[in-house]
Structure 1
Amino acid sequence: MNLSARQLRAFVAAARVQSFTRAAEQLHVTQPGLSAMLRELEAQLDCRLFERTTRSVALTAQGMAFLPTATRVLRELDDAAASLGRITATQKRRLSVGATPVIASSVLPQACAVFAQAHSNVEVEVQDLDRALIYERVQSGVLDAGFGAFLTTSRAVRRRKLLDAQLLLILPADESPAEAAPLRWKEVPRHGLLGLPPTNPIQQQVEASLRDSGDPGQFVQSFNHLHTLLAMVEAGRGAAVLPSFVAGAAARYRVALHALRQPVVPVDFFEITKAGREESALLTAFAECITAVLSPWTSAVGAPQARGRSTRPRLS
C-alpha cells in the first residue's frame, strides 16, 4: 500500500462537500484528475469509499469509517511540516550588516565572535562599503543595518546612537610625549596634517573644528582608506585628527592617541536601519555586541598607556 497525501486530501475534500466538481476547485486540480486519485485510493484500500450518482456523491460505510483517520493523518502531517518549517527558519536566520572598511576590519570580527556565542544558529553577513553604498543598501532593504559615523540624516533611514565618541589627535608614537595630558585644539599641529578626502563627513567636521579654534591648518595629503592614513602617521609623515572609535584600528600601528579638549567635539557612532522597519531582537543583540567591543576603546581616551605597537594604542 502506498497512500499519498494528495489522495487523502482529495478524499477528505470530496467527503466534506459531497461533490467531485467543488472538491476539484478547492484543490485547484481538474475533476478528471481528482476522480483518478480517488479511484487509485479505492484500489489500494480495496473498497469503495463513495457511492456515485450523476447528481451527487456520498460516503459508503467504509468511507465514513475511513474519514476520521484520513483527517487525523492530514492534520498530523500539516503540523509536522509547520514544525519543521519553524526549525528551518530558526536554523537559517541571517543578518546582513554594512560598515566602512575600518569598522568592518577592526570592530565587526570581534563583535561577530561575541554574537555567535549566544546566537550560533544566526549567520551574519558583513559587507565593507563606503557610506553612500551603506545608505543605499539600507534604504533598499539589502542590508538589515549599517554601522558607523553617519553624521547626516535622511527620512528614508532611522538613526540610533550606539556610542558617544569624540575627535582625537593621532601622532607618531616616537614624536609623542610618554606622558601627555589631553590637548587643546589650539595645540594641534597646523602643518603636515594628513586627512580623509574633503568630501568625507568626518573630514569636514575636523576642518570645521580647526577653523573654529582659530587656524584651519594645512592638510598636505588625503587618503581614501583610514588604514593607509594610520600607516602614514606611524611612518612619521604627519598627524591626523580622527574619531575615538578608530582606536581599535589604531592598535595595529605605533601611534599615540590624544584626547582633544576645549572643546570636546562629538562624532558619535550610529546604527542606521530602513525607516519603518520592524525592530529586530537579533539586530538589537548584534548592536549590543558592537557597543561592547567599542566601549573599552572610547572610554580609555585620556588614560595614558605604554608606548609602542600592542593590542591597544597608547591613549593620552
Structure 2
Amino acid sequence: MDLQQMRYVLAVADTASFTRAAERCHVVQSALSHQVARLEKELGARLFERTSRRVRLTAAGEAFLPAARQALEAAERARAEVAAATGEIRGGLTVGSIPTVTAVDLPAVLRDYRLRYPRVRISLRAGSSERLVEQVRDGLLDAAFLGVLPGFRPRGVRHRELAHGRHVAVVAPDHPLAARPEVDLGRLADEAFVDFAEGSAARAQSDRAFAAAGLRREVAFEVSGAELMVRMVRHGLGIALLPGRFAAELHGVRTVPVTDGPVRVEHLVWSRFPPSPAAAAFLELLGSEPLGSEPNGSEEPTEHAPFAPDGGK
C-alpha cells in the first residue's frame, strides 16, 4: 500500500468515475485502474462497485476512506513540518468565515499572507458561525471568523474576541424610514423583514433583541446569504438588520441606526490541537498565539489587539 494508491482511491470516490479520477490525477485511466486493483488485492476486499453506468463505494471502501484521508493529511503535514524546520512555510491553509465579517479586512489579510508565504495553498470557505465552529473542531478548518451573540463561548476550540458592533436597519432608498436619523425596535416591529434562517446564529441576534424588548415581528423572507438579502431590501420586499460596519459598505440602500438594536460579537476561533506551520503563521499574522491557551478558554481583546477597532464594528 502506498500514498499514490490512496490518492487514486480518493479521486475515484470524489468523482464517482475512474475516467474523471484519472484526469484529476493526470494519469491514464488504465494505470489508475491497475493501481486501485492492486490495492484491492492487497486488502482482500473490493473498494468500489463498478457497472457500466456508475461507480460507488462498497462497505469496505467506506471504511477505508477516512483512514486514507488521514494518512495523506499526515504525510502532507510531515512534509510541511520538515520544510518549516528548514525555514520554509508550505502546505495548506483552510480558513472559514461568515460572509459579513468586519473585524478584519479578510481579503487584505489573505493577500499579506500569500505575499509572505507563497508556497502555501490557501482555501477560503463561507458558512454560518455554528457550522464553522464545528468544522474547526473536526479539523476541517484551521481557523474561522464568527459573528455571534454576546456571551457566546465556543466549545472544543480556542477563541479570541475581536470586536463588538450594533446592527442597523437596512431599508430601500424610498422607504419612509430612510430619512430618519435613528429608530428603535418598537418602530421596526410592524415592518416585514428579510432575515437569515430561523435557528442560525445570524438570525438569533435579531430574534433575541426583539424578544428582550417584548416585541414580535414578521420575517417574510428567509435567505441564506447577505447579498440576496440586500437585493430584496433594495426592491422594497422588506427591511433587514445587519451589522453597522458591514452595512456601511452596501450600495443602493439606506442604513438607519437602531438605538436598541442587536449587538454582534466577532470571534476568531482555531483548533485546540497544535497548528500546522501554515496555520501557526496565519495566527501569528493575526496576533493570536495558539500555544499556551486553554482549549476552552478565550483571549479577550486588548487596547492594542490587531484588527479590533475601537468602538466595535
Question: TM-score normalised to the size of structure 2?
Answer: 0.56
Q: 1: CA distance between counterparts of 2:157 and 2:232?
A: 35
1:226 corresponding residue in structure 2: 226
Q: Which amino acid aligns with 1:283?
A: L
The CA deviation at 1:240 is: 0.8
Q: 1: CA distance between counterparts of 2:247 and 2:310?
A: 10
Report the 3-state secondary structure (helix = DSSP H, G, I; strand = E; otherwise coil) of the residue aligned with 2:162: strand
1:139 aligned residue (137, 143, 149): 137
Question: TM-score normalised to the size of structure 1?
Answer: 0.55
Q: Which amino acid aligns with 1:141?
A: G
Residues 274-299 of structure 1 deviation map (CA, whole Å, 9 limit, x = unaligned) = 235469353141478x964x859965
How many residues matched? 210
2:272 corresponding residue in structure 1: 275
**113 and 213 in structure 1: CA distance in 2 versus 1, 3 angstrom threshold:** same
Q: 1: CA distance between counterparts of 2:111 and 2:143?
A: 18
User: 8 Å contact 2:194–2:238 — kept in the other structure?
Assistant: yes
Q: Identify the structure with the greater helix proportion.
A: 1
Which structure would you say has the larger Rg?
1
RMSD: 3.5
2:292 corresponding residue in structure 1: none
1:188 corresponding residue in structure 2: 188
**Greater RCO structure (CA 8 Å; 6+ sep):** 2
Residues 143-196 of structure 1 deviation map (CA, whole Å, 9 limit, x = unaligned) = 111112144434311221111122221111232667642322222252212211
The CA deviation at 1:213 is: 2.5
User: 8 Å contact 1:95–1:283 — kept in the other structure?
Assistant: no
Structure 1 runs not aligned, ≥5 long:
1-83, 300-316
The CA deviation at 1:138 is: 0.6
Report the 3-state secondary structure (helix = DSSP H, G, I; strand = E; otherwise coil) of the residue aligned with 2:165: coil
Q: 2: CA distance between counterparts of 1:271 and 1:295?
A: 14
1:127 corresponding residue in structure 2: 125
**139 and 244 in structure 1: CA distance in 2 versus 1, 3 angstrom threshold:** same
1:142-221 equivalence runs, <5 A? 142-151=140-149, 152-175=152-175, 180-221=180-221
Q: Which amino acid aligns with 1:255?
A: V
Q: Which amino acid aligns with 1:166?
A: R
The CA deviation at 1:90 is: 1.4
User: 8 Å contact 1:176–1:256 — kept in the other structure?
Assistant: no
Report the 3-state secondary structure (helix = DSSP H, G, I; strand = E; otherwise coil) of the residue aligned with 2:262: coil
Q: Which amino acid aligns with 2:202?
A: I
Q: 1: CA distance between counterparts of 2:112 and 2:83?
A: 28
Report the 3-state secondary structure (helix = DSSP H, G, I; strand = E; otherwise coil) of the residue aligned with 1:181: coil
Q: 2: CA distance between counterparts of 1:272 and 1:95?
A: 14
The CA deviation at 1:269 is: 0.7
The CA deviation at 1:238 is: 0.8
The CA deviation at 1:202 is: 2.4
What percent identity do the matched residue pairs reach?
A: 17
